[in-house]
Structure 1
């Protein structure tokens, strides 16, 4: 049934991550993903402010293009940003999850760039209350500004079709 695709909500273009320091975050996300940013620019003015529900805005940003998703790294100059802090269990908290084929290699990469997971990775088992997806491995970590990030080596229903 095609009704689920009406309106065009069947693809995601990008996720935006607001950061304290664009240059520092470019270094982090390039090291994490092994991909160089494709564009660094800035945008602002009254039209951009209005579309975001702000009085004024100036944003320095970089675009990082991954195979299936772009990451916009955003540093707000105006208005002066405040720091949000979310735990994964808080309503409206979001996280970005990177799909990996080899969790051990991904964790070594994290450690190589100075990032420690928030806890030991777990492998989904029946005791976790799941009915399927056994063997999926997940780990959580944060970027330098505290953005919630996840690694997943998916199995069963967590694997996307065609993978």
Structure 2
């Protein structure tokens, strides 16, 4: 078995420019690449007839965060909940969760104020403009 390493985490969005604005301006991630992909190999690879996509790769530290806007778009889905089977979320670490939380614009939807779990890790879940879940965490003393 080959040694696997994380390259990116993909997040599908309906409005790439709006998503980039959020991840860049609110979360402070820089855009490292923007590109488009189409063609028969892409359609076959993603299993979507007639698919093409616009991509943005953001610097997520140890892995890239890939924002993808597909054509044709899928039908809307209900807002995901963390306890839904198959639910996903993006986890990003900060040194000072309270400072991060206090700097968030009031327009950002959070599930709660920062919480300290029994492991000592502090967590804050928020939603991007597409309702995708993002966990911001501050690790406790190990």
TM-score relative to the length of structure 2: 0.90
User: 1: distance between equivalents of 2:96 and 2:34?
Assistant: 31
Gaps of 5+ in 2: none
1:79-94 alignment runs, 5 A limit: 80-84=73-77, 85-94=79-88
Q: Bigger radius of gyration, 1 or 2?
A: 1
2:121 maps to 136
* Secondary structure of 1:93 counterpart: coil
Q: Please state how far the C-alpha of 1:31 moved relative to its aligned partner.
A: 1.2
* Secondary structure of 1:38 counterpart: strand
1:46-61 alignment runs, 5 A limit: 46-61=40-55
Runs of 4+ that moved beyond 3 A:
none
Higher share of residues assigned strand: 2
* Secondary structure of 2:108 counterpart: coil
2:136 maps to 151
Q: How many residues align?
A: 141
Higher share of residues assigned helix: 1
Q: Identify the structure with bigger relative contact order (alpha carbons < 8 Å, sequence gap 6+).
A: 2
1:1-163 alignment runs, 5 A limit: 6-9=1-4, 11-78=5-72, 80-84=73-77, 85-111=79-105, 114-125=107-118, 133=119, 135-156=120-141
Gaps of 5+ in 1: 1-5, 126-132, 158-163
* Secondary structure of 2:110 counterpart: coil
* Secondary structure of 1:108 counterpart: helix
TM-score relative to the length of structure 1: 0.79
Is the 2:31–2:57 Cα contact (8 Å) retained in structure 1?
Answer: yes
